[in-house]
Structure 1
């Protein structure tokens, strides 16, 4: 079990680094580049069962497609960083992060 936990820790650390790098792009990077980077994060998160992160990425993709950028995207990325850092992989966590996205969307 320790090996699996350590592997998940390494995946979460890699995802966190990628989210940090995307955050650095959020002000100057074109939306299509941010979306491509998010797709790589989504694929890795999904492959490792980090479904709350996938949930947030879907909401973030929608925000980008609506034309959101800059500071607004930083807020979405903060939710994504929380989802990655939580290490949660269950339906309740999915629902909590989906609710956070709904609040962000409305707010």
Structure 2
């Protein structure tokens, strides 16, 4: 899967995610994370893990929607390194906790 296809999946998930059952959302996020891992897209991998954690903890739709937005942003990032991954996770935490 090329970056453009992965980004399209992320955008689609962001658009329809609020209508998916939790189990379907978990499977889609895991598929995105697996694809991102295969291409070394560390920011996407890290944010997908944070989103998976939020889903596993039963976080509300606002938190999940917030992480989906961060996932979309991470998917557009040109950097692929661990520092960028930490920055996106920190930005998500700040965005969602104020």
Q: Does 1:42 align with 2:33?
A: yes
Q: SS of 2:18's equivalent?
A: coil
- For 1:60, which of 44, 51, 54 is the aligned residue? 51
Question: 1:15: Cα distance to partner?
Answer: 1.3
Any unmatched runs of 5+ in structure 2?
none
Asked which structure has the greater CA Rg, the reply is 1
- Give the count of matched residue pairs: 98
Any unmatched runs of 5+ in structure 1?
1-9
Q: SS of 2:37's equivalent?
A: helix
Q: In the aligned structure 2, how far is the partner of 1:87 from the partner of 1:75?
A: 21
Question: 1:69: Cα distance to partner?
Answer: 4.1
Please give the root-mean-square deviation of Cα atoms over the aligned residues, in Å: 1.7
TM-score when normalising by structure 1: 0.80
Alignment of 1:6-25 (within 5 A): 11-25=2-16
TM-score when normalising by structure 2: 0.86
